[in-house]
Amino acid sequence: MPPNKIPDNKDEAPPPAQSSFSQQTSKVRNFFSIPAPVKTLFDKVPVLTYPSNELPQRAPKPARIPSLYVFIKEEDAAAGRPSYNPSCLKWQAFLNIAGVNHRLVPSSNHASPTGVLPFLLPAANSSNSPQETSAPIISNKLIKYAEKLGKTVVETSSMRYEAYQSLIDHRIRSAWLYTLYLEPLNFSAVAYQLYVSPNSSNPLVRASISHQLRSAAEAELLKHTSIIDTDDLYSEADKAFEALSILLGGDSWFFGCSTPTLFDASIFAYTQLLLDDELGWKEKKLCRALRRRANLVQHRERLLVKYFGGS
């Protein structure tokens, strides 16, 4: 029998020790109970729940077309021009290619439910309640969303797809991170103008944001190597462009498709920004490596003319 089991002694008279114990506990219980005058006061004031307030006037109205939240300048958003952030631009281009009509909303990472842009707020549907429509769609669910809208999403099933995608996601991305954030000339000329100065005019805040951006880029690069080897980053990106250029060959779109796919969108996200003279690149090593591949430059032109109005 477990020693802590309480003996069943309801029939017998309780031993004196136990009776004093129960007196003690009832005293404690009395101490914590609500005093009578307070209780009567509470009874006189009934609890009443008011209906929730209306949203303020300036709150965004549910739009009739879906809104894509991206890093973009105010005037570019209105004109539907490309975003200046590669991962935003990739999905922006994807939606344009799939023919999903959307509007662009300038935003920052703090607005996103996942902490990263882009995300899409679907169009308000008159039949649904406002709570249901406002469930945001994060970037990797966008393909499913486009398919649900009945758009044709061409998927490539080449055995080379994964490998060449890894060139973009790792080799080119690493070189991009380095050239944008860690190359001092480019950071002050390009990244500072795009990510730091629009956020605040306070020099302390600006310095802190710059530091955060740079150390985040550095940490990301140091995950895979123990040292940031500049020459290696650039030469690997150069080889990656070479391989992509060979893969594209004389075709209009990658993998011989008749229409562009998500893969075209993801390479466009980098080529567009590297070839955009308005960004004002100062250290152009990566841009030069790309310009040497004429068919990649033409590929970017084609997408720009066809899906972004040639701006």
Binding residues for another protein, rule: CB under 8 A, are 2, 4, 159-164, 166-167, 169-171, 182, 218, 222-232, 235-236, 239-240, 242-244, 246-247
What sign results for the dihedral spanned by CA atoms 246, 91, 142, 260? Answer: negative
232-264 burial, b at 16+ Cβ within 10 Å, e below that, comes to: ebbebbbebbeebbebbeeebbbbebeebbbbb
**Which of 149/228 has CB closer to another protein?**
228
Minimum Å gap between C-beta 87 and another protein is 14
Minimum Å gap between C-beta 237 and another protein is 11
**Which of 194/243 has CB closer to another protein?**
243
Query: Beta-carbon neighbour count of residue 2 at 10 Å?
Result: 4
Q: CB burial class (10 A; 0-12, 13-18, 19+) of residue 302?
A: middle
Q: CB burial class (10 A; 0-12, 13-18, 19+) of residue 275?
A: middle
Q: What are phi and psi of 96, to 5 degrees?
A: -65, -45
**Which of 74/169 has CB closer to another protein?**
169
Minimum Å gap between C-beta 1 and another protein is 11
Minimum Å gap between C-beta 288 and another protein is 18
**Which of 120/167 has CB closer to another protein?**
167
Q: What are phi and psi of 94, to 5 degrees?
A: -60, -45
Minimum Å gap between C-beta 178 and another protein is 9
**Which of 76/236 has CB closer to another protein?**
236
Distances (CA, A) of 160 to 53, 163, 180, 306: 55, 5, 29, 26
**Which of 134/215 has CB closer to another protein?**
215
Minimum Å gap between C-beta 226 and another protein is 5
**Which of 76/220 has CB closer to another protein?**
220
Contact call for residues 269 and 93 (beta carbons, < 8 A): yes
DSSP-derived 3-state class of residue 4 = coil
Minimum Å gap between C-beta 215 and another protein is 9
